[in-house]
Amino acid sequence: MDCCRHVNPLRACSGLRGLGYLMLAFVAAIVAVSYYAVVVYTWGPLLLGGGGAAAGAAAVLVVFHLLLAMIIWCYLMVVFTDPGAVPENWRHASEEDGIDVNSRIISDNWDATYPTSEGQRAQRYCSRCQNGKPPRCHHCSVCNRCVLKMDHHCVWVVNCVGARNYKYFLLFLVYTFVETVLDTLVLLPYFIEFFQDEGSHSSSPGDIAILFLAFVLNLAFALSLLCFIGMHASLVTRNTTSIEVHERRNLVSWKYDLGWRKNLEQVFGTKKLLWFLPLYSTEDLHNIGALHGLEFPTRSDAVV
């Protein structure tokens, strides 16, 4: 009983951060295993044979490397992009100076000014941060700070997913799903062959083990990511977050739901050519306040 009384939640949060770094190593290991199985062991050697097999292998490897490049790009953007923090004394400054809180300039390369709704002020306060809480902002116990439009803290990226990196997170999920599906399909013939010719393997036990592990891991991740992508697709099209799903249960209508087209633009921007890249146009960063995480357009007909 005494042990239970002295449990320190801060230690648990530190443990989650440590787990995140282990997850980074796990992700790198999965990529390495998949790369060896697809490129080095199975499809890469076909390039040396020439003919149609070589052409097919070249196509597979080109797509594989393009997807891998996008995964790494998006992953690094999620990991190293600040999801959005509340400016220091955000609420106090607005109350003392009488200025619109949402017109404050933000740092970290998000310092473009953007249109705001008149008269909007902070309505909540975080006792742990000793600061105001903009709309849709939540306190993360792992990061020990308030995060703008927080969706969740992701141990896989050792970072929170919020207003400024949610698009990168979604793209990371999509490209990882496509890559795992590709890996599963191109390794499937070799996986079947493994069981059909069980007694006549010319490959080393290590290569066979890597092939088996890569196929199983990619199949498992593809199935799990399909469910995860489906969930987040529903959230994006309704302009809500994983946290807000629970908060809006008793609401008749959701005031941030602007229709699925506008909702997508609130996350991905208005430049559809950039929807599939972890980038935003300067124009979108200037005009779409939701990308900064301090103010959000709402429906005029929303009813609580």
Q: Could you give the residue numbers annotated as active site?
A: 154
State how far the alpha carbon of 180 is from the alpha carbons of 150, 187, 188, 198, in Å.
Answer: 27, 10, 12, 25
State how far the alpha carbon of 143 is from the alpha carbons of 106, 159, 160, 210, in Å.
Answer: 19, 8, 8, 36
Residue closest to 260 by CA, chosen among 235, 238, 289, 244: 238
Using CB atoms within 10 Å of the CB of residue 199, give its burial: 0 to 12 exposed, 13 to 18 middle, 19+ buried. Answer: exposed
Three-class secondary structure of residue 106 per DSSP? coil
CB atoms within 10 A of CB 49: 10
- The structure tokens 């306190």 sit at 139
Structure tokens at 7: 């449990």
For the CA atoms of 236, 240, 243, 247, what is the dihedral angle to 10 degrees? -150
Three-class secondary structure of residue 81 per DSSP? coil
Q: Which residues contact 226 (CB under 8 A, 6 or more apart)?
A: 177
**3-state SS, one letter per residue, for 172-236:** HHHHHHHHHHHHHHHHHHHHHHHHHCCCCCCCCHHHHHHHHHHHHHHHHHHHHHHHHHHHHHHHH
Helix ranges (DSSP H) in the chain:
2-5, 9-35, 51-80, 90-97, 166-196, 205-237, 242-247, 260-268, 282-287
